[in-house]
Amino acid sequence: MSEWKKIRLGDVCRTNADTYLPKEKWDFVNYLDTGNITNNTIDSIQFIELKNMKLPSRAKRKVKKDSIIYSTVRPNQRHFGIIKSQPENFLVSTGFVVIDVDNNALNADFLYYLLTQNTLVDALQAIAEQSTSAYPAIKPSDIENLEIEIPDLATQKKISDILSSLDRKIAKNAEINKNLEQQAKAVFKSWFVDFEPFGGVQPSEMQFIPLQELCKVVTKGTTPTTLGKSFTSSGINFIKAESILDNHSIDSSKFAFVDEETNALLKRSVIKANDIIFTIAGTLGRFAMVDNSVLPANTNQAVAIIRPDEAKITPAYLYSFFIGNWHNEYYSKRIQQAVQANLSLTTIKSLPIAVLNNTTMSNYDKLVSPLFALMKNNEEENRRLSKLRDVLLPMLMSGEIDVSNIEL
């Protein structure tokens, strides 16, 4: 078994080594802000044409292959990643600390996994909460001053390869789901925009029924603290808006928890399989279909629960209207502006849904249901793989699991 030695991280890496200067006069920038990456998954990159737009003041940090980017604000929100490829003229926010390792001493992937294990994230969050800034934040020096134990480079690589193999499968499943979603969108457009199965003409039988009339339940949740209750460290899953991702999956790592007594008090918002959950406050319009893998679960007032009446409409049929972005224009015109943007339940309930006769809807359902089933299977596999990785991570990083005899 390899011997592990203690090092100061700043002795084997550099932070914020390269900065963009205006004199470089790029024509455009591809910019990544801190909120657009979570757990090494990028939601979006902003393209900025500098002839027409001003570069954000925080768009300064340059990165290279294997740079680790780590948000300095609220580390527990997990806005971090490791760069494996990048678009041309790529800059990241100064809200990240950019970490580049000395490859003669440290494997970048090994360090990324070490920095993202829960114990170290919690330690950095504790440091952030002691800061004097307006919000919990760490400094580059807080990372540089970390003392960590590392094995030899060969062992570091073997450990990172084990963890990377899980992450590659997770990424592959996510890519497959993107393709499946595009197929579902194409089917929806064919039927309800181009009317191809009906000779290119809207069928006379098509009716537009308010969402509420097609559902058993359209409601929203409640925050436990309004009832004098608190969140717990484990128990019933409590799905907050940030748990619902842009790719329509549900991130269990962002769940809070309530006990069974609190869940019973919040019975109006107990979530069931095949419910569609939809964010109605803050970041609007993220949605997902619930399956048994995240149950039992509850939610708060920022999330609407839409439960189809299966005597009238199947969950897959209704969900396809959200996948097909049927709701976008209707809801966007009805957003209420307050402290934060929100959609009322009245607006959610009033969305007109195109309904056909039972035979025609059944034929459509047979096209989209298998696509959604495959997507759910991939999401569930990714949750299992993520849990396995999270169990293995601290054991591998501490040397508890000896990898010396593992062949990869």
- Whether residue 287 is contained in a domain is answered as yes
Number of domains in the chain: 2
Q: Name the residue among 391, 407, 400, 408 with its Cα closest to residue 151.
A: 400
Domain boundary among the residues 355, 384, 399 is at 355
User: pTM for the complete prediction?
Assistant: 0.82
Q: Name the residue among 349, 354, 343, 335 with its Cα closest to residue 303.
A: 343
- Whether residue 258 is contained in a domain is answered as yes
- Whether residue 164 is contained in a domain is answered as no
User: Are 39 and 105 part of one and the same domain?
Assistant: yes
The residues, ordered by sequence, that sit 6+ positions from 133 with a Cβ below 8 Å of its Cβ are: none
| CB atoms inside a 10 Å sphere around CB 269 | 21
- Whether residue 121 is contained in a domain is answered as yes
Q: What is the predicted pLDDT for the residue at 402? A: 87
What is the C-alpha separation between 236 and 217, in angstroms, rounded? Answer: 21
User: Are 216 and 343 part of one and the same domain?
Assistant: yes
Cα-based distances in Å from 366 to 186, 314, 319? 15, 11, 13
- Whether residue 69 is contained in a domain is answered as yes
Q: What is the predicted pLDDT for the residue at 256? A: 92
Q: What is the predicted pLDDT for the residue at 405? A: 76
Give the model confidence (pLDDT) of 30-70 as tens digits: 999 998 898 888 878 999 999 888 999 999 999 999 999 99
Integer-rounded Cα Rg, in Å, for the chain is: 24
Which run of H or E residues covers position 181? helix 153-192
User: Are 217 and 348 part of one and the same domain?
Assistant: yes
Q: Tokens for 247, please give them.
A: 């790719």
- Whether residue 43 is contained in a domain is answered as yes
User: Are 13 and 128 part of one and the same domain?
Assistant: yes
Q: What is the predicted pLDDT for the residue at 12? A: 95
User: Are 238 and 139 part of one and the same domain?
Assistant: no
Please check the confidence at residue 1 and state whether its pLDDT lies above 60: no
User: Are 220 and 138 part of one and the same domain?
Assistant: no
Please check the confidence at residue 245 and state whether its pLDDT lies above 90: no
Give the model confidence (pLDDT) of 309-326 as tens digits: 999 999 999 999 999 989
Number of helices and strands in the chain (H, E) = 9, 21
Please check the confidence at residue 246 and state whether its pLDDT lies above 90: no
User: Are 108 and 244 part of one and the same domain?
Assistant: no
Q: Tokens for 75, please give them.
A: 């580390």
Q: What is the predicted pLDDT for the residue at 338? A: 61
Give the model confidence (pLDDT) of 352-374 as tens digits: 999 999 999 999 999 999 999 99
Domain boundary among the residues 307, 331, 355 is at 355
Please check the confidence at residue 406 and state whether its pLDDT lies above 90: no
| CB atoms inside a 10 Å sphere around CB 1 | 10
103 lies in which domain range? 5-150
User: Are 135 and 245 part of one and the same domain?
Assistant: no
Q: What is the predicted pLDDT for the residue at 93? A: 96
Please check the confidence at residue 336 and state whether its pLDDT lies above 90: no
Cα-based distances in Å from 385 to 5, 46, 84? 30, 30, 21
User: Are 218 and 351 part of one and the same domain?
Assistant: yes
For the chain, the average pLDDT equals 92
Q: Which residues lie across from 13 on neighbouring strands? A: 101
- Whether residue 28 is contained in a domain is answered as yes
User: Are 115 and 214 part of one and the same domain?
Assistant: no
Q: What is the predicted pLDDT for the residue at 134? A: 82
- Whether residue 87 is contained in a domain is answered as yes
Residue 25's domain is classified under what CATH number? 3.90.220.20
β 236-239/215-220 pair status: unpaired
User: Are 145 and 215 part of one and the same domain?
Assistant: no
User: Are 136 and 218 part of one and the same domain?
Assistant: no
